[in-house]
Structure 1
């Protein structure tokens, strides 16, 4: 089912991809693993989980 709508979901997410690319922020965040995959596919940028970003900000390593 999800594979069937993959291309459509990428098309619908294009405004998000454009915003991420235009913002040129140092990091992109999402708590959804599927969204992270699509963000990477659509922008070439790795999206990180917000908790990982906070951990790095506080100097907490895995």
Structure 2
């Protein structure tokens, strides 16, 4: 029973660490998105997203 409790505590600690890591990554992504919007503008950002999507699609097709 003690091993189960320790395992649950360890699992809970790991979940908390992962949630903190996700929050940090989300914040970094938001900062990057804001920076890109400020630097290159909304239309250019949309164009960049399209180009990246096309490139990814091209890479996927090349793998087939």
TM-score (norm 1): 0.33
User: Of Structure 1 and Structure 2, which has the larger fraction of its residues in strand?
Assistant: 1
* Structure with the higher fraction of residues in helix conformation: 2
- Structure showing greater relative contact order (alpha-carbon pairs closer than 8 Å, 6 or more residues apart): 1
Greater C-alpha Rg: 2
Calculate the TM-score normalised by the size of structure 2: 0.32
